[in-house]
């Protein structure tokens, strides 16, 4: 099986069919979360898991204590509801084909769902393996439900305590669009 065939088979498995979890309409996504126009949506995955927080002294005021985000921990599901990968610290998204992408947040917007983690636009900073995640350039986190840090319970008596806040989200994965300009090395006759 060639690499192209393997990647194509993986993308088909990730894509699945219809689901109840749909990405918001483009008009409902804040403009600052739209990837560059040179990007094309490759696939979407639904995440179900937790956002992990630890109680720590506030770096700006050591007399205060705050819940500090540590890492996500979630399963990623295709549109058929099959597990297609995992999401964990980095932030990293890894498919069952062994490929992975690590991202860094570029932009954020409040979730329309009160008490939910923000929506994000992330840019890929690192890739591992050859497969579905190997060409990802941008990731959107949308449609979030839950996952926000607790409003209370973090104080000097609870330093180091961890909480795992349940959340769901849709992750949309983008890759570079095919260039529409001719390759400079290709003769045009």
Per-residue pLDDT at 98: 94
Kindly indicate the confidence band of residue 165, based on its pLDDT and cuts at 50, 70 and 90: very high
Whether this model's pTM surpasses 0.95: no
Give the residue from 16, 13, 18, 79 showing the smallest Cα distance to 46. 79
Q: Regarding predicted confidence, which is higher, 14 or 28?
A: 28
Per-residue pLDDT at 62: 85
Per-residue pLDDT at 79: 94
β-strands 162-176, 83-88 pairing: unpaired
| Cβ neighbours for 84, distance < 8 A, ≥ 6 positions apart | 13, 14, 45, 76, 77, 78, 95, 96
| pLDDT tens, position by position, 91-124 | 999 999 999 999 999 999 999 999 999 999 999 9
Per-residue pLDDT at 172: 98
Per-residue pLDDT at 25: 58
C-beta separation of 75 from 94 below 8 A: no
| pLDDT higher than 90, residue 176 | yes
Per-residue pLDDT at 28: 85
The mean of the pLDDT values for the chain is 86
Within a 10 A sphere around the Cβ of 87, how many other Cβ atoms? 23
C-beta separation of 14 from 43 below 8 A: yes
| pLDDT tens, position by position, 121-155 | 999 999 999 999 999 999 999 999 999 999 999 99
- The total number of residues written for the chain in this structure: 189
d(CA 41, CA 185): 28
Per-residue pLDDT at 4: 37
Per-residue pLDDT at 24: 60
| pLDDT higher than 80, residue 16 | no
| pLDDT higher than 80, residue 15 | no
d(CA 52, CA 37): 33
Per-residue pLDDT at 44: 97
| pLDDT higher than 70, residue 185 | no
């Amino acid at each position: 099986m060639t690499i192209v065939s393997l990647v194509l088979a993986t993308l088909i498995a990730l894509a699945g069919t219809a689901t109840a979890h749909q990405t918001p309409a483009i008009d409902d996504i804040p403009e600052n979360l739209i990837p560059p126009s040179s990007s094309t949506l490759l696939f979407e995955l639904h995440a179900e898991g937790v956002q992990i927080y630890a109680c720590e002294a506030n770096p700006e005021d050591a007399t205060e204590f705050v819940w500090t985000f540590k890492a996500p921990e979630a399963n990623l599901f295709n549109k058929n509801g099959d597990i297609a990968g995992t999401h964990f610290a980095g932030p990293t998204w890894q498919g069952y084909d062994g490929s992975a992408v690590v991202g860094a947040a570029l932009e954020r917007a409040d979730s329309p769902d009160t008490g939910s983690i923000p929506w994000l636009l992330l840019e890929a900073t690192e890739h591992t393996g050859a497969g579905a995640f190997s060409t990802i350039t941008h990731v959107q986190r949308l449609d979030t439900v839950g996952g926000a840090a607790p409003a209370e319970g973090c104080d000097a008596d609870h330093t180091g305590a961890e909480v795992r806040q349940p959340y769901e989200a849709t992750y949309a994965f983008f890759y570079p669009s095919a260039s529409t300009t001719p390759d400079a090395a290709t003769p045009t006759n």
